[in-house]
Structure 1
Amino acid sequence: MRISVAVITYNWPEALELVLQALAAQVELPYEVIVTDDGSQPATRELLLRLARNYPVRLVHLWQPDDGARMSRARNRAIAAAQGDYLILLDGDMVVEPHFIADHRAFARHGCFAQGSRVLTDARLTRHMLGRGPAIPGFFRRGVDRRRHTLRLPALARLFAKPGRRQRGIKSCNMGFWRDDLLRINGFNEAMTGWGREDTELAVRAFHAGLLRRDLRLSGLAAHLYHRTRKHVVGNPNDHILEDTRRRRLIRCEKGVGQHLDEFATAPADLRTIGRPLQHWPTVLEDMLGAAQPATA
């Protein structure tokens, strides 16, 4: 079983560095880490090229222009590019415990996807973590919410793992899927842009396809770094897409991962194999800088 980790990021290289350090320190390493980037400034690319020099596994950077929040498209590109047969979806502000990959591997079952959890950190604790390294907080640490998610008790994890179709609490910040299952339902729905509901809509189509959800509790631990979050807005167009998926019992979305498979028919470059300094990457950096500049008359 070859595991790919798809980390989505946008303009927070300090958090991303902590996430990648934690993945590099796993007791069981993944096959690859794919950083799928929704239009970050060049600082993210610079970080990745620096980390790649000594990174222990294949490290890939997929960048798309900043054209609003297009998380579904970014994640689909990672699914298409993945070389593993099992894919862990992770947000770029989720710092994982050293047994995270091993726990996901032990938990994976065919016919199911894994829904992980997260412990929340406040602003002060997040600043501390950013300055001290990737260790996740313990049970008694100040600045922690959802404290129960700091406990790793894998022998008890099976008590929470009964397969089901519960839609509440679906979050793509910590999920595990067999790649073939994601391809079967055509990945994330790219008609859904902006904030929210794309992960629930994906799970609903997975249920329609016959997959079941298993909750990964007391293992697969991760700490979410604090940042301001958007509140749900009544009338969000993504709500209407989700309800249409439920009503029509859709399995595949129309605009999904399938449109990216040809692009990644050949595996994307491993940044560790790139021995040239940053100044030899003008095309990538010019594209990134150009997308960030306002148009001029």
Structure 2
Amino acid sequence: MSQQLKASVIISTYNQPNWLELVLYSYHLQTIKEFEIIIADDGSDNKTKAVIDTFSEKTQISVTHLWQEDNGFQKTKILNKAIVAASSDYLIFTDGDCIARNDFVETHLKLKRTNSALSGGYFKLTKAISDKITKDSIKQQKCFDTNWLLAEGQPKSFKLNKLTTSKKKAAFLNWITPTKATFDGMNVSCYKKDILAVNGFDERMQYGGEDREVGERMMNNGIRFLQIRYSAICLHLFHERPYKNEEAEKFNKEIRKITRSTKSTYTNFGIKKH
């Protein structure tokens, strides 16, 4: 089976079963099917397992559920396990609160380049709109339609351009955007070998820039990050962040500072332990 796989989609999650159910459904609707899903679960309870089991029974996509005990924010550890477990040589990283447009996987695969990573975009929904998203609105792709969103009460903003279906417009906006292409865990893809070369995520890091840091090491190692924020799009469902922790963020900033100043290409606290 791994011979036919073109990508491994790694979805991180923690105790958001309702959102995850909608997100998984969006992958069931993808325009191409030659990919696997690996769920990197940082200690969710049985409600999440039930959602994954139900989805696995209904889809032909291979689904692997990797779980670790809930011991605080340890997303980096479970993501490293997911990288190792991936059967494909190309990885797409996203979150369990990001609904993928039906061309999401296909777009990442069409735009991938050697020695490069792709930095995709996400559109943040308000809480009111997030609560209105159903499987039916995903199936009909209405939730990606700016007119539908505006009619439902999503505030008007330039960011609605992220939902364009025009490839020409998307390419132009990717080219002119002042936003840097980075490793943003909600929507990024790269070759497995390129993230293994830098030893994956730094497992000392909790919430706050832990994804950017692995990207910085990849850049230091010669990987170009290409901007596709208007081409490969997902909708970010609203949620609070109870795991935000000022001390951890400060510690993470220190690690990133060292990564940048020393032009580090490797962490001793990643997949391989030193």
* Coarse TM-score class (shorter-chain normalised): 0.7 to 0.9
Instruction: State the shift of 1:167 in Å.
Output: 5.3
**1:251 is aligned to 2:258:** no
Identity %: 26
Partner of 2:217: 205
TM-score, normalised to structure 2's length?
0.86
Question: Conserved in 2, the CA contact under 8 Å of 1:197 and 1:238?
Answer: yes
**1:137 is aligned to 2:144:** yes
TM-score, normalised to structure 1's length?
0.80
**1:238 is aligned to 2:246:** no
What amino acid maps onto 1:171 in structure 2?
A: D
CA distance in structure 2 between the partners assigned to 1:160 and 1:30 by the alignment: 29
**1:67 is aligned to 2:71:** yes
Instruction: State the shift of 1:168 in Å.
Output: 6.8
Partner of 1:125: 129
What amino acid maps onto 1:218 in structure 2?
A: Y
Question: Conserved in 2, the CA contact under 8 Å of 1:160 and 1:215?
Answer: no
Instruction: State the shift of 1:190 in Å.
Output: 0.6
Question: Conserved in 2, the CA contact under 8 Å of 1:14 and 1:130?
Answer: no
Query: Which aligned segments of 4 or more residues in structure 1 are displaced greater than 6 angstroms?
Result: none
Partner of 2:226: 214
Which structure 1 segments of 5+ residues have no match? 260-297
Alignment of 1:10-25 (within 5 A): 10-25=14-29
Partner of 2:80: 76
Question: Conserved in 2, the CA contact under 8 Å of 1:10 and 1:38?
Answer: yes
CA distance in structure 1 between the partners assigned to 2:76 and 2:42 by the alignment: 10
Aligned residue for 1:236, secondary structure, equals helix
CA distance in structure 1 between the partners assigned to 2:89 and 2:33 by the alignment: 15
Instruction: State the shift of 1:153 in Å.
Output: 2.0
Question: Conserved in 2, the CA contact under 8 Å of 1:5 and 1:30?
Answer: no
CA distance in structure 2 between the partners assigned to 1:87 and 1:71 by the alignment: 17
Deviations 1:82-133 (A, max 9, x none): 0011000010000011111110011100011000001110011000004755
What amino acid maps onto 1:92 in structure 2?
A: G
CA distance in structure 2 between the partners assigned to 1:109 and 1:103 by the alignment: 12
CA distance in structure 2 between the partners assigned to 1:190 and 1:232 by the alignment: 16
Question: Conserved in 2, the CA contact under 8 Å of 1:30 and 1:101?
Answer: no
Partner of 2:240: 228
Instruction: State the shift of 1:200 in Å.
Output: 1.2
* Structure 1, 42-51 or 95-104: larger mean CA deviation: 42-51
Partner of 1:192: 205
Deviations 1:28-55 (A, max 9, x none): 1242000110000011111111111121
Aligned residue for 2:92, secondary structure, equals strand
**1:5 is aligned to 2:9:** yes
Aligned residue for 1:257, secondary structure, equals coil
CA distance in structure 2 between the partners assigned to 1:127 and 1:182 by the alignment: 35
CA distance in structure 1 between the partners assigned to 2:266 and 2:195 by the alignment: 10
Larger radius of gyration: 1
**1:177 is aligned to 2:190:** yes
CA RMSD, 1 decimal? 2.1
Which residue, out of 121, 135, 148, partners 2:161?
A: 148
Partner of 2:61: 57
Instruction: State the shift of 1:169 in Å.
Output: 5.8
Instruction: State the shift of 1:232 in Å.
Output: 8.0
Aligned residue for 1:60, secondary structure, equals strand
Query: Relative to structure 1, is the Cα distance of residues 255 and 232 closer, same or farther in structure 2, using a 3 angstrom cutoff?
Result: closer
CA distance in structure 2 between the partners assigned to 1:156 and 1:28 by the alignment: 23
Question: Conserved in 1, the CA contact under 8 Å of 2:180 and 2:227?
Answer: no
CA distance in structure 1 between the partners assigned to 2:116 and 2:77 by the alignment: 23
What amino acid maps onto 2:235 in structure 1?
A: A
Query: Relative to structure 1, is the Cα distance of residues 70 and 174 closer, same or farther in structure 2, using a 3 angstrom cutoff?
Result: same
* Structure 1, 124-133 or 8-17: larger mean CA deviation: 124-133
